[in-house]
Amino acid sequence: MNDVTTKSKILTAARQLFVENGFSGTSMGKIAKLAEVNYSLLFHHFGNKEQLWVAVKQSIARDAANKSKTLPLSNLPFKEFLSQLMANSIKFYRDNSEIIRMINWQRLEPAEQSIGVTLSTESNEWLDAIKHYQHIGNIDKELKPEFIITLILSIVSSAALDPNVLIKDKKDLKAYVDFCVIGLLKAFR
Amino acid sequence: MNDVTTKSKILTAARQLFVENGFSGTSMGKIAKLAEVNYSLLFHHFGNKEQLWVAVKQSIARDAANKSKTLPLSNLPFKEFLSQLMANSIKFYRDNSEIIRMINWQRLEPAEQSIGVTLSTESNEWLDAIKHYQHIGNIDKELKPEFIITLILSIVSSAALDPNVLIKDKKDLKAYVDFCVIGLLKAFR
DNA sequence: CTTAAAATTGACTGATCAGTCAATCATTTT
DNA sequence: AAAATGATTGACTGATCAGTCAATTTTAAG
């Protein structure tokens, strides 16, 4: 029953290699070697490569779920709310590059079953927060909350994920976030 | 000298498979089979797998360059300019999903040399257009043109690329683009 | 202590992988 | 017509791939 150790050693190694090289770029042999574990044990503990891939995705998703809480409190002034929302989201993306890579692999590689890694299951909470700020007059009530969320999310994800030529260091990023917050305030009023 | 036909048959097949499955997800054998060409000919015409991969990237980049022109004319009213810019860009992304997939493969898979497929080399023209609209008073002169471009680009790329739960059909997209244009007009003033 | 169950090992399979090579075929040059 | 050049073929290599299996060791239960 050294099972926990061995199984988790395999999972850790698989996670690292799958995140780095994707499904078809990773071989069971390399996973076994990295985990310092007999090759056959991978199949004993996980069945086959695809089941191991699924297990890795679930493991990453579980970790991500525990670290979420990107949404600030709705009793903040709207400007602060926006500012924190963007900062939190960008930090979340930055801190969870594993998930990001995994999501991107999942998008590109032939989809067996896309259950597993996803982002922003908290959409409903976002919607509620937006509606709240519409109700107290910070956001034009004519604007569709779905559009507002989509807009914010696309800004945030690009800022955090895309390697941007125009925004190089952290100072630039901070300035850019401020620029966006001020712009969004005007846009939504 | 049936070279043109054979070589291009290989390139076409390779392009399809590389775009679908990436570098390590594609085998030379499958390319040969799809191209209906002798296996050894791939090496005779392209050297090895990586050189074929590079050739495919160049081929895609070349095609994309010919189809660019996403930038509207700067003598349009700013609102029309923004509107057309977003529509053109989204259409460009939609029409060139091959390039998009290739860029994403390139981002994920171990980078040998990232020459080849890239987007928005026209950044300078974008900058000039923004500065022009700042000069004639449509955009606040205090705002950094780089930030403005980054913002527009991130909105556009997300709208075109990310599978969005909240925006399903073309009507939604059109409405969303209008929403963004109006918002950006207010934000930049 | 005995026995059953689980963990671990190493040897093995057949398929596929990228790449080579000498021989043949087709075309062009001289 | 002869020679040279390039295109094409098929047979081959050694490495790696995912996966199997029987035998052995370790651990847990009665």
Query: Which of A19, A27, A147 to mutate against chain B (most B CBs within 10 Å)?
Result: A147
- CATH number of domain containing B38: 1.10.10.60
Domains held by chain B: number: 2
Does position B139 have pLDDT exceeding 70, yes or no? yes
pLDDT at position A172, please?
84
Does B189 touch chain A if contact means CB atoms closer than 8 Å? yes
pLDDT-derived band of residue A35, with 50, 70 and 90 as boundaries? Answer: very high
Identify whether residues A55 and A72 lie together within a single domain. Answer: no
Domain boundary among B61, B80, B111: B61
The Cα A59–Cα A12 span in angstroms is: 9
User: Distance from CA of residue A68 to its chain's centroid?
Assistant: 9
Q: What is the CA radius of gyration of chain B?
A: 20
Does B154 touch chain A if contact means CB atoms closer than 8 Å? yes
Higher pLDDT, A65 or B141: B141
Domain boundary among B37, B61, B85: B61
Identify whether residues B47 and B88 lie together within a single domain. Answer: no
Identify whether residues B77 and B147 lie together within a single domain. Answer: yes
Tokens of A127: 């919607």
Identify whether residues B23 and B114 lie together within a single domain. Answer: no
Average pLDDT, chain B: 87
Q: Please tell me what DSSP assigns to residue A164.
A: -
Identify whether residues B51 and B100 lie together within a single domain. Answer: no
Identify whether residues B22 and B102 lie together within a single domain. Answer: no
Tokens of A149: 């969320």
Instruction: Give mean pLDDT, residues B147-151.
Output: 91
pLDDT-derived band of residue A3, with 50, 70 and 90 as boundaries? Answer: very low
Domain boundary among A12, A37, A59: A59
- CATH number of domain containing A136: 1.10.357
Cα distances from A66 to residues A61, A94, B115, B168, in angstroms, run 9, 16, 39, 29
Return the amino acid letter for A46: F
Identify whether residues B75 and B163 lie together within a single domain. Answer: yes
Identify whether residues B53 and B20 lie together within a single domain. Answer: yes
ipTM summary value: 0.83
Sequence-distant (6+) residues with CB within 8 A of A49 are A23, A28
Identify whether residues A126 and A166 lie together within a single domain. Answer: yes
| pLDDT tens digits for range B56-103 | 999 998 887 777 666 777 789 999 999 998 888 888 887 888 888 998
Does A107 touch chain B if contact means CB atoms closer than 8 Å? yes
Could you count the other beta carbons within 10 Å of the beta carbon of residue A123?
14
Does position A113 have pLDDT exceeding 80, yes or no? no
Does position A160 have pLDDT exceeding 90, yes or no? no
- Partner-chain contact A166 B159, CB within 8 Å: no
Q: Is the CB of A2 under 7 A from strand C?
A: yes
List protein-proximal bases of chain C (any atom < 7 A from a CB).
Answer: 6-12, 16-22, 27-28
Does A143 touch chain B if contact means CB atoms closer than 8 Å? yes
Identify whether residues B106 and B169 lie together within a single domain. Answer: yes
pLDDT at position B89, please?
84
Cβ distance B90 to B164 under 8 Å?
no
Cα distances from A27 to residues A32, B70, B107, in angstroms, run 9, 42, 20
Distance, CA of B55 to C1' of C3, in Å: 65
In chain B, alpha helices (H): 3-21, 28-35, 39-46, 49-67, 78-95, 97-108, 123-135, 145-161, 170-188
Sequence-distant (6+) residues with CB within 8 A of A61 are A99, A116, A117, A118
Cα distances from B39 to residues A107, A154, B34, B57, in angstroms, run 30, 44, 11, 21
Query: Which of A17, A19, A108 to mutate against chain B (most B CBs within 10 Å)?
Result: A108
A7: left (phi over 0), alpha (psi -120 to 50) or beta: alpha
Question: Which of B 24-63 lie inside 8 A of A, CB atoms?
Answer: 24-25
Sequence-distant (6+) residues with CB within 8 A of A152 are A82, A85, A86, A184
The Cα B60–Cα B96 span in angstroms is: 9
Question: Which of A155, A186, A188 is opposite residue B151, by nearest beta carbon?
Answer: A155
Does A95 touch chain B if contact means CB atoms closer than 8 Å? no
Q: Please tell me what DSSP assigns to residue B75.
A: T
Distance, CA of A118 to C1' of C17, in Å: 33
Q: Is the CB of B27 under 7 A from strand C?
A: yes
Identify whether residues A78 and A48 lie together within a single domain. Answer: no
pLDDT at position A32, please?
98
Residues of B in contact with A143 (CB under 8 A): 179
Distance, CA of A44 to C1' of D26, in Å: 16
Query: Which residues interact with strand D by a CB < 7 Å criterion?
Result: A 1-2, 26-30, 39-40, 43, 48-50; B 1-3, 5-6, 37-41, 44-45
CA angle B10, B13, B17 (to 5 degrees): 135
Strands (DSSP E) contained in A5-150 are: none
- Residues of the domain holding A96: 68-188
Identify whether residues A167 and A87 lie together within a single domain. Answer: yes
Instruction: Look up the protein residue whose alpha carbon has the minimum distance to the C1' of D5.
Output: B1
